[in-house]
Amino acid sequence: MSAILQAQGLSRSFAGFHAVQAVDLAVEEHSIHALIGPNGAGKTTCFNLLTRFLDPTAGRIVYAGRDITRDPAASVARRGLVRSFQISAVFPALGVLENVRLALQRGRGLSMDWWRSDRVLRRYDDAARALLDEVGLGGWADEPAQSLPYGRKRALELATTLALQPRVILLDEPMAGMGAEDIGQAAALIRRAAQGRTVLMVEHNLSVVADLCDRITVLARGQVLAEGGYAEVSADPRVVEAYLGRGTHA
């Protein structure tokens, strides 16, 4: 196993406040890695740094053997480090299949002038249908995106993300707002999407993390507090104190 995504001494301050401080992180290729921690721990800031939405104050980010610390966000996304919402702008009035076709077209750097030729878009039909099958939306292809129930909309977002052919998918609270049934389905979906890919996710639901993630990094006050498997980190007294002890997200 080798790390596909690494942060070394990653730091970001806002007007002197250390939101992320000297974070070292190594995400192994083909793993599902969780970033957890109490509110304000720095998880979203870390995501923003790793996906180059935000410049670090210090530190280094290496993706697929390349230093991307100063690379533009669009360029790292093109190289396969993709945050789920980045291209998941789902067009509600368009059909489910059309949404994925457009994402495929966009992912391959083609123009967005879809009105020009329906024939051109049809070339993407097979690939789009395969992606819909992958996320369990095969039966919804012709429905308008806006008619999908909440959990299915998230599945469509994932399909549009997969259309960019990511090597690493970053998911920011993928289960947020879901009920128990949707959570089970979404977990199965993420596990499937992770086959042959790598997933880094921020997730508050600890039973999801326990079930799904190979490795967990716990952040608190901008720093790495613990790292390991779920059994290991959940038994760490510092984690219990800083996070689990509060019982806010379990």
Ligand X SMILES: Nc1ncnc2c1ncn2[C@@H]1O[C@H](COP(=O)(O)OP(=O)(O)OP(=O)(O)O)[C@@H](O)[C@H]1O
Site residues (vs ligand X, CB under 6 A)? 14, 17, 19, 37, 39-45
Smallest distance, ligand X to C-beta of residue 48, A: 8
Task: Give the nearer residue to ligand X in terms of CB position, either 35 or 168.
Answer: 35
Instruction: Record the tokens describing residue 147, joined without a space.
Output: 């008619």
∠ CA(33), CA(157), CA(53), 5° rounding?
A: 60
For residue 12, what are the β-bridge partners?
20
Smallest distance, ligand X to C-beta of residue 36, A: 9
Smallest distance, ligand X to C-beta of residue 45, A: 3
239 CB contacts (<8 Å, ≥6 apart)? 218, 225, 226, 233
Task: Give the nearer residue to ligand X in terms of CB position, either 14 or 150.
Answer: 14
* Residue 231: CB atoms within 10 Å: 9
Task: Give the nearer residue to ligand X in terms of CB position, either 39 or 165.
Answer: 39
Smallest distance, ligand X to C-beta of residue 18, A: 8
180 CB contacts (<8 Å, ≥6 apart)? none
Smallest distance, ligand X to C-beta of residue 50, A: 12
Task: Give the nearer residue to ligand X in terms of CB position, either 36 or 212.
Answer: 36
Long-range contacts of 229-232 (CB under 8 A, 24+ apart): none
DSSP, collapsed to helix, strand or coil, labels residue 213 as coil
CA distances from 161 to 102, 221, 240, 246 (A): 11, 30, 34, 34
Task: Give the nearer residue to ligand X in terms of CB position, either 17 or 115.
Answer: 17
